[in-house]
Amino acid sequence: MRAFAIDKYGTALHAMERPDPVVGQHDVLVEIHAASVNKLDLKIASGELKQILRYPMPLTLGHDLAGTVIKVGVKVTRFAAGDAVYARPRDGRIGTFAERIAVAEDDLALAPLSVSAAEAASLPLVALTAWQALVERGKVRPAQKVLIHAGAGGVGSIAIPLAKHLGASVATTASAKNADLVRSLGADTVIDYRTEDFEQHLSGYDLVLDSLGGHNLEKSLRVLRPEGKAIGISDPPTPDFARSAGLPLPVRLGVAALSAKVRRQAKRLGVTYEFLFMYPSGQQLASIAELVDAGAIRPLVGETFDFDQTPNAMTALEHGGLVGKVVVTRGRPTPS
């Protein structure tokens, strides 16, 4: 089958023929109609995450998909040929920049009925990240105050309406040109990150979802109320993450050093910092699909590319400045 892969870290993504997927007993073979591009693809391609995620080469990239079930493994019970589905395949089994992929049944869900294949494909990784940060880790409740950085980005554009659905008051950072957009998503307070310092305007927040790291994360700790929580999805990873990921001891020691400063700052301020590396969940995707079809969450696609232009889609994401997700499409889309 045709796919887009890298030959080694740091090399360009290019088309190649790859073996057809092997379908295990608990697997679902999916014809891919759309796949979105994520910063995780860029980080893996550059080799930035090779100490955490080890892949044999050549490596087909791509972490999100929407498509149609072709066939199912003998022990699959929840899906059948012809089902419209979406997923974020688990680490070690990525590769959605391809014509087909075999996905573990537990990673898969029926796609939302109210959106196109391109819109459905834009959701899994970012929506699971938002869900796990706000629902699972943050346990956001009505009347709480939540700060979501980069509200017009892939994660932010889903996290804002999800936080509003959970009953929170939401602040976000965005450029002035995207202020109306993030307000339409549900943001109550919008800080222009180019001209305003959010730390000077916000205080007493219960939760911060930080996708930027560095100095932005350090400032985020200071807008939290005592016992508030900051969840980082960019950096730095924490020892808890390293242990749960089963990383080798030398890597765990390095991770501990990377996050030592921010963990000390959090402790001194009486708040908590956690690092989130999302995990696939078909069950959570099913809940997200319900929210999409109910109108509580809407996918935000910034730019689409044909399958043949998958390397261009990667370049577009790398250059930045886009609102919403970059999506690659092939085959027939699901009608909107």
pLDDT digits (tens, 9 = 90+) for 222-272: 999 999 999 999 888 999 999 888 888 888 899 899 899 999 999 999 999
Is the pLDDT at 70 greater than 90, yes or no? yes
The pLDDT of 10-36, averaged and rounded, is: 97
Residue entry with tokens 């995990």: 279
Q: Which of 311, 313, 293 is nearest to 303 (CA)?
A: 313
d(CA 61, CA 40): 10
Is the pLDDT at 336 greater than 70, yes or no? no
Radius of gyration of the chain (CA): 20
Is the pLDDT at 334 greater than 60, yes or no? no
Give the model's pLDDT for residue 57.
Answer: 96
d(CA 223, CA 13): 41
Give the model's pLDDT for residue 52.
Answer: 85
Give the model's pLDDT for residue 332.
Answer: 54
pLDDT band at 54 (very low <50, low <70, confident <90, very high): confident
> Which residues are paired to 208 by β-bridges?
147, 230
CB atoms within 10 A of CB 274: 17
Specify the length of the chain in residues.
336
Residues 6+ apart with CB under 8 A from 190: 151, 171, 172, 173, 174, 179, 182, 183
Domains and their CATH numbers in the chain: 2-123+301-329 (3.90.180.10), 125-275 (3.40.50.720)
CB atoms within 10 A of CB 255: 23
The pLDDT tens digits of the residues spanning 123-150 come to: 999 999 999 999 999 999 999 999 999 9
pLDDT band at 46 (very low <50, low <70, confident <90, very high): very high
Q: Classify residue 92 as left (phi > 0), alpha (psi -120 to 50) or beta.
A: left
> Which residues are paired to 326 by β-bridges?
37, 303
The pLDDT > 70 percentage for the chain reads 98
Give the model's pLDDT for residue 244.
Answer: 87
Could you tell me if 118 and 292 are in contact, meaning their C-beta atoms sit under 8 angstroms apart? Answer: no
The pLDDT of 192-219, averaged and rounded, is: 96
Structure tokens at 278: 């999302």
The number of CA neighbours under 13 Å toward the Cβ of 229 is 13
d(CA 81, CA 3): 22
Give the model's pLDDT for residue 110.
Answer: 98
- The secondary element (H helix, E strand) that includes residue 40 is helix 39-46
Could you tell me if 95 and 126 are in contact, meaning their C-beta atoms sit under 8 angstroms apart? Answer: no
Instruction: Enter the pTM of the model.
Output: 0.95
Give the model's pLDDT for residue 335.
Answer: 40
Give the model's pLDDT for residue 331.
Answer: 66
> Which residues are paired to 109 by β-bridges?
86
Task: Please give the mean pLDDT across all residues of the chain.
Answer: 95
- The secondary element (H helix, E strand) that includes residue 35 is strand 27-37
Q: Which of 168, 174, 171, 88 is nearest to 126 (CA)?
A: 88
The pLDDT tens digits of the residues spanning 283-327 come to: 999 999 999 999 999 999 999 999 999 999 999 999 887 788 999
- The secondary element (H helix, E strand) that includes residue 267 is helix 249-269
d(CA 140, CA 142): 7
